[in-house]
């Protein structure tokens, strides 16, 4: 396994700024973007438009989230080349995907993967034991504080953030954050980090700065994540799917305000009756 692929995550450009009747020229910092291509067993699988850091995590997280691997035990080799923006991944025992995914596939920052091996019809709703995972007020405050402090967003205003939080019993310090120009990339990076470290995903809480569409709910269910918290809005299909899968979906989580769209029963610890979602 070679390299983490840290690159130019931001660049400085000269801009002309207008503020009312005032015009001036100054330097501005903008988020970096680069194509990142994943080759699987010698075949080009996908090109992601991404922030050029933590590319090993992005490759692993993408493969994990799309159902190609369940853990690093499935990966025989991962070779990263930051210079060319490529990752060569070897997964023994997979069929040849070249006929199915023929041609160049580019996923832009606002889009989800279209290469998933996860069949929505085969996903099972979370069972009752998933209710042992809960979201307390203290945990939510820690997560929102971490999202708000995302350094690249504060520098550029041009990235999404995602984090995975441990159950509260495991300690307040267990928050893993990643940023990217793409909301799905940010999620895949944090999933990749835990996968590389051999940490189970089940029982974690996913928080994101971006909107929650049905594709993200599908991804979370496939990964065993029973709670999604977003600072933004969900879509109607995301709410319908979350209800069907018994996933807790929280949107517009900002400060002491939030809307609970499904799975209200997992909000425990510090919430008064009926308080969430006002």
How many Å apart are CA 42 and CA 22, to the nearest integer?
Answer: 55
From 10, 91, 111, 120, active-site residue: 111
3-state SS assignment for residue 148? helix
Q: Note whether 181 and 33 are within 8 A (CB).
A: yes
Closest by Cα among 117, 143, 131, 148 to 218: 117
Tokens of 112: 């989800």
What is the chain's Cα-based Rg? 19
For residue 264, the Cα-to-chain-centroid distance in whole angstroms is 22
How many Å apart are CA 125 and CA 108, to the nearest integer?
Answer: 30
Bridge partner list, 204 = none
Q: Note whether 158 and 181 are within 8 A (CB).
A: yes
Q: Note whether 69 and 117 are within 8 A (CB).
A: no
Quick check: is 111 catalytic? Answer: yes
How many Å apart are CA 193 and CA 252, to the nearest integer?
Answer: 26
Query: CA distances (Å), 201 to each of 118, 226, 237, in order?
Result: 16, 10, 24
Name the strand (E) or helix (H) holding 164.
strand 160-165
Q: Could you give the residue numbers annotated as active site?
A: 111
């Amino acid at each position: 396994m070679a390299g983490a692929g840290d690159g130019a995550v931001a660049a400085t450009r000269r801009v002309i700024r207008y503020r009312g009747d005032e015009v001036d020229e100054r330097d501005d910092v903008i988020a970096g973007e680069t194509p990142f291509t994943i080759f699987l067993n010698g075949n080009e699988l996908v090109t992601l438009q991404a922030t050029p850091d933590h590319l090993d995590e992005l490759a692993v997280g993408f493969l994990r989230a799309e159902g190609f691997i369940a853990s690093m035990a499935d990966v025989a080799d991962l070779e990263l080349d930051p210079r060319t923006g490529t990752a060569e991944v070897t997964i023994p025992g997979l069929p040849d995907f070249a006929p199915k995914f023929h041609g160049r596939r580019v996923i832009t920052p606002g889009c989800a993967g279209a290469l998933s091996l996860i069949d929505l019809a085969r996903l099972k709703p979370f069972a009752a034991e998933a209710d042992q995972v809960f979201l307390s007020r203290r945990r939510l405050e820690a997560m929102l504080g971490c999202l708000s402090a995302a350094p690249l967003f504060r520098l550029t205003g041009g990235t999404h953030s995602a984090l995975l939080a441990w159950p509260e019993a495991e300690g307040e310090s267990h928050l893993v954050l990643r940023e990217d120009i793409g909301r799905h990339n940010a999620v895949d990076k944090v999933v990749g980090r835990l996968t590389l470290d051999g940490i189970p995903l089940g029982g974690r809480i996913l928080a994101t700065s971006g909107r929650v569409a049905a594709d993200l709910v599908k991804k979370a269910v496939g990964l065993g994540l029973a709670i999604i918290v977003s600072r933004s809005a969900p879509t109607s299909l995301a709410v319908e799917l979350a209800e069907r899968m018994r996933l807790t979906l929280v949107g517009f989580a900002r400060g002491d305000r939030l809307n609970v769209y499904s799975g209200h029963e997992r909000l425990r610890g510090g919430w008064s009756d009926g308080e969430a979602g006002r």
